[in-house]
Structures are given as C-alpha cells and as structure tokens.
C-alpha cells in the first residue's frame, strides 16, 4: 500500500471522526473486498457503494439516514460506540490459538500503525478516541472466539458478539467487515487474512473495521 493511500485512509477516518459504517445488505460479514457494487431499484448498477449511499441520501430526505432504507429497517452496521470514559474501544479475539500464534504480530502491528497515523494514543492531544483491545479472561489470558475443534460451528459463550474475530484462512480471501454489526449473531464482525498477508493488507482490512468502505468494480 502506497503512502498516499495510507494518508487517504487517515483523512477519511479523521473526517468521519469515529467512522460511518456501510456494509453489504446481506449482513454477511460484509462488504469484504470484492463485494459487487449495489443495484438501484430501477436496475441500474451503481459504480460504487459510495455513489449508492450518496444517491440514496439525496432521495430519502432523511439527512444522511439513507442507510436505514438500504437495510430495509434491519439492524445494519453502526459506528463503534463510546464507553463511559468517552473512549471507542474496539474489542477483538483471535479465532483459535493457532491464529493468534501466527498472525498476532502483523495484526497488532497494523493496529499500532493505525493509532500512530491517527496521532498517537487516544486522548485530547491526538484528537481521537479509538483503541483496540484483545478479549482476556479473568486471569489476563487471551480468549479465543471459537471453542477448540468447533471452529465456526460454535462461538465462545464468554465473548460478546460485538467482538471482531480475527482469523487466518489458508487459500481463502481477505476480508474485513465494515463498522460494527449488532444483529444478535456471532461472526458478523470479522477480519480475515490469507496467504501472502502484508502489513499494508492488514491496514486495509482494519480500515474497514474502523468504518471505511471502498469503491468496487469500476
């Protein structure tokens, strides 16, 4: 990823403050990179999700609430909330111990880079409230999203569904859910890394988690 692209992501995030969420109407961890562009009611294909929502907001008369129409009033992704200390803490867990062992370094390196690009640790000096925090048990040990030997067939009952699951899928695609999804289902907030993962790619997918969508299929 070039420096100019990284700067572009930073400027987007700064403008959105805590990030506005846009996602795939199927509510399937989406949109991941490669999600097709949306289609208007008249059958015309939008050139990008950005264009789609801009047009939707113009015609909806809801002052920026057009996403509600796109989701048919169903609970779609939303900005990450602030806690009692006015901080935006994005929780995450690695799918299983293997994932944490193999991709923790590059994943958390990407998180650190995002915080660096935002101006440093959340607070008045940096002008932002965002941080990432791994889910830990009462003994301070990492909690894993999936029970052992039940990957994707189950979800750790001790972990809230609003937690970002971070996984490595050999031979699979890259992906990052956009913003926060709260629809009462597990695995809706997700970062997926695959073969050839790079810091630039991790930054890209974490950008989605922070709320950034990008244009598809121009």
- CB count in 10 Å sphere of residue 24: 20
pTM above 0.75, yes or no: no
The pLDDT tens digits along the chain (218 residues) read 554 444 444 444 443 333 333 332 232 333 345 444 445 556 566 565 455 545 544 554 434 333 333 333 345 568 899 999 999 999 999 999 999 999 999 999 999 999 999 999 999 999 999 999 999 999 999 999 998 776 667 899 999 999 999 999 877 678 888 899 888 899 999 999 887 768 888 988 998 899 876 544 33
Q: Give the span between the Cα atoms of 156 and 165, in whole angstroms.
A: 11
Q: Tell me if 89 sits within 8 A of 133, measured CB to CB.
A: yes
E strand segments, the chain: 88-94, 130-134, 164-168, 175-176, 190-193
């Amino acid at each position: 990823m070039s420096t100019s692209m990284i700067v572009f992501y930073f400027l987007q995030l700064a403008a959105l403050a805590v990030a506005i969420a846009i996602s795939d109407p199927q509510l399937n961890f989406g949109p991941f990179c490669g999600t097709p562009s949306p289609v208007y009611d008249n059958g015309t294909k939008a050139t990008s999700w950005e264009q789609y929502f801009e047009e939707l907001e113009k015609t909806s008369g809801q002052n920026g609430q057009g996403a509600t129409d796109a989701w048919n009033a169903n609970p779609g992704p939303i900005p990450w909330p602030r806690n009692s200390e006015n901080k935006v803490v994005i929780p995450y867990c690695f799918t299983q111990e293997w994932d944490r062992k193999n991709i923790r370094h590059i994943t958390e390196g990407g998180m650190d880079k995002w915080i660096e690009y935002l101006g440093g640790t959340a607070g008045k000096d940096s002008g932002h409230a965002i941080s990432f925090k791994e889910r830990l048990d009462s003994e301070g040990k990492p909690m894993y999203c999936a029970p052992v030997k039940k990957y994707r067939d189950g979800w750790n009952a001790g972990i809230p569904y609003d937690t970002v699951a971070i996984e490595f899928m050999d031979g699979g695609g890259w992906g990052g859910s956009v913003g926060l999804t709260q629809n009462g289902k597990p695995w809706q907030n997700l970062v997926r890394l695959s073969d050839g993962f790079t810091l630039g790619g991790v930054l890209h997918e974490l950008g989605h988690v922070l709320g950034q969508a990008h244009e598809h299929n121009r």
